[in-house]
Structure 1
Amino acid sequence: LAKALRKMQKQLGLEETGELDAGTLEAMRAPRCGVPDVGTFLTFEGDLKWDHMDLTYRVMNYSPDLDRAVIDDAFKRAFKVWSDVTPLTFTQIYSGEADIMIMFGSREHGDGYPFDGKDGLLAHAFPPGQGVQGDAHFDDDELWTLGTGLVVKTRHGNANGADCHFPFVFEGRSYSRCITEGRTDGLPWCATTASYDRDKKYGFCPSELLYTNGGNSDGSPCVFPFIFDGTSYDTCTTDGRSDGYRWCATTANFDQDKKYGFCPNRDTAVIGGNSQGDPCVFPFTFLGQSYSACTSQGRQDGKLWCATTSNYDTDKKWGFCPDRGYSIFLVAAHEFGHSLGLDHSSVREALMYPMYSYVQDFQLDPDDVRGIQYLYEAGSTSTTEEEEETLEPTVEPIPVDPSRDACMEKNFDAITEINGELHFFKDGKYWTRSSFWKSGIQGAFSVADTWPGLPAVIDAAFQDVLTKRVFFFAGRQFWVFSGKSMLGPRGIEKLGIRKEAGRISGALQRGRGKVLLFSGENYWRLDVKVQRVDKGYPRATDDVFTGVP
């Protein structure tokens, strides 16, 4: 144990005592990057680096904690940290495959390296290369801020989208959160200067009464009350879903209209507890006493909490109040260092030190500069990637031929999972069954309405788990869709499958970024990111999947 402790202490730049002293315990408990502490402190083993200088990145999804514009700006500044000291350039794209794919996820999120909930592991990234290599993932169970507390970007009002200013004065009283005082419609708002009484500058805070995210309602606000599974709801709910996301109907009856959206996080949205994402309700009752602000009463660790209903004593619903959070800019700059080929540093002042600490006036440490300039010297070869068309979101399908029952079909042309729903294809139509919604099979829908340009008969299909692009195969051709933007048809020869192969009759996900494609008695392993089959294929299906026809 002492030998292992000394090795870890050396790695973290601590005094090498071989004992679990106070400094070592403090470092072990600190929030940190999820990349293991191995390597030479400067670069990954083998000096992994990109073979071109003009890199692209794409943000696959966003945290509900911050406005998208704030996150995009933080990522842009994080990449600039590295481009300022190297010949590297970074361009954000909104469709297709980027060198660095960025996503937010929680717990097990598809790459085999699960996160651990709030605090602890904050993010991780992979060194340069194909497939998942180079990608960066952020734990969506953290509270993402700019490091100094909540950033609340307003909408509408008269402040042109400025951030809330906390605290602010309204009618002589100071507020450190969005409020509904002074309004009769219940919409939360804030001042964007220190004094609304003086400057009269304000905007509306994120609220399900103002808009929703995602879903199929084009951002329409929630309608309360609404009916779901015969029950009336007055607030956002996670009922009917297995992923814990809060949602609402955008009409009075979800059972009838099937229109919904996801509720944005309010500035008082709690973290953890048993009400993740629900807003604090003030005032609330705890042990018979009324509270109009977060409190540490009832806890020994001093953490602030609130109830998410008006009476904790009755409902026992609660969560931790937002804290300073973690700087998305600082964590991203660190993770992008990994994406470029840097390992962890043992220099405590370095950006690439594995433990998180907030720095207000950030600048790269000389150790970081030496590491990145060792990898990327001036004069390296540069290549330019072909830009693809910006993709449009998928339009919600319109049911056709409602009398047609999927359960009456004897067979289907293809079956695959798309956006968490099983899709059953047959003669130009398809049905869906969701594992998220506790409902039966929906449809039939028209393939041509949802994916214009596809043939009526689909032989195989799959969705890439990272980019969410959907690949369709028919005959010896394939199509790639993201939303309604289509690339294809193209011949499967483009994937490296020779002409002697027939049609692709099946597709099976095989780990992240890999898909098995079946044709006749053989199968190929496709690298989805580069859209080429791996060397050593085809192989006989019966060698691995014995007895499969």
Structure 2
Amino acid sequence: MLPSRHVRIWSINLVYSEKPKMNIDHEREEGDMEVCDRYSRMVVPTFCYKQTSGVDKCCSCRTYRKYVLQNMEFSFKTIVSVILLTLLLSPVDVECRAGAYKSAEQFYAERGDQMVSYLAEFGYLWDASAEAGPAGLTSMEAYVRAIKNLQKMGNIPETGVVDRRTIELMQKPRCGVKDVTKPAPLTRHRRKRYVTAPSKWETNHLTYRIDNVTPDLSSDNVRRIISDAFKVWSDVSPLTFTETINADAHILIQFAKGYHHDGYPFDGKGSVLAHAFFPGDDRGGDTHFDDAETWTFNSSEGVDLFMVAAHEFGHALGLAHSSNTEALMYPWYQGYVDGFKLPYDDVAGIQTLYGSKRDGPLPPRPDPTRRPTVVTPDDRDQGRDRDGYTVNPRPPPREPDDDINPCTHSIDAITVIRKEVFIFIGSKFWRLGINGISSSPTKINQFWYGLPEDGVDALYEREDGKIVFFKGNRFWMFSSNHMVSNFPKEGRSLTELGIDKEVKKIDAVFVWAYNKRTYLVTGDMYWKLNSKDDYIEYDYPRDMSIWRNVPVPLDSAFQHWDEKTYFLQGDQFWEFYDNKMRTRKKTGKPTAKLLGCRNGKLNSNLMALEKQDESSASNVQLLISNLVMLLICIHVL
């Protein structure tokens, strides 16, 4: 469907012909990401307009302009509009940028709703807030606590934010039984990993009945698999399991899709694979498998029935979920395991309920060392520890301050203050003005009295001219080179800005030219300060993946004289392209080039802002396009 006849761009009405047709999907230009997918890992700049059907259609900004120019009716009104459009292409870019930003806001709002739904479904939220979404939570503290409990169960870093690892955890297929059977505060003390349910069977001799089987496997195979799954538990306990055709069997086994009359409908392929009820009357012990899944046996393809059945029978016997990633009762599907043997954590749990089997030896106790969490690798993981970035990174060892040179060393912090660039490394800083180097390296705490002797992590200049410095989990505010009145000499805690106490340092701070707002970055998370710069906004932190191709963890970031944002890591820098919400190049360029260094030293001339080949080519194309449009208009007239 084509767009409606009137589309508003910067208060100009353009009229389209409905005869030409254009497949926007085939017109995406190289480098553009997939659009109209708010649930992808990143939100990209798009321009959206109404179709005649009333449905929003999205395409890249550049493609949209191409569509506008190709499909106009050349009426007098349109000719005037063309001329104005040629003169106002930059505002269209601003509109595109705004569209991307609003899409990002909507994306995170929807993701917050999904997060609350997930937390409620698996027992992490227990009040009316489960229906109200993040905005309806009784307190932000309750939301953060619920996320941390989820992260603790998943055995990933407990950041209290919906970061990349948390999203990956939520996307994994899993058991449908709640992880938390009753409200529980976040605790720091060590406890046993296995968890028992409130009930158990009063007899050790249990019966089970298979009501139906999946079409993915033969009836004989299903029965053999179910028997083997029960044997996992009978081998280490006095329990026995006997198949029966009687309707009053202790455990009823069923394959079903969607709603199946137990109050817990399945969600289709993926996500929830199966669920079971704890021992008790009525449905106690019953075990249900989602028949929308592709069930297999002894295969890494599809979903292995044996592994899922053995897990669900653990619930049917009285075991809850375990946060031990080695345990069978870990909530998330671990895949097919060749030669599976019940891990120690599960053995200890079942024997706590039913005792041990005299002729069944216990497996050896595993090494108590915590197994690192497996995270799907991607380009953003370069430079991180194997188990992912933590909120308290250890900085690499530095050379003595006397040997430090901004042209050859990574930069701790960099910003523009009153049209001068300040570069901070270790305990010293350098100043670069419009006319070049303003001074030799100076001790930081000899210029800004009261700052830590060993340097700063990040800083920025506020709109009111005050300068905010960050070091560790504290910050200081200065007016010129004097601390503001009544500001504590020891600084203030990051928690006063609304940042979680687990965050031990701020990696980078920058003011984004698009909205003039301040952003704080730690690892793969970032926060946005409110318009007063005194507290973080609601629904933050967020994942740095929105800033496409920006490396994490960052060393520093800043807005330069040209109002462009630059991100620095190691001896490389990346220029950010606001229109596409990504860096101009995937790979970084030497920071020495950004600083205008010559022969490994700062140049006495103006810092050399590199002009990107891509930007130059784009400007040439734009100029040619404008000239062509002007010639067309003259010809028509």
TM-score range, shorter chain: 0.3 to 0.5
- TM-score, normalized by length of structure 2? 0.31
Higher-Rg structure is 2
TM-score by length of 1: 0.36
Greater percentage in helix: 2
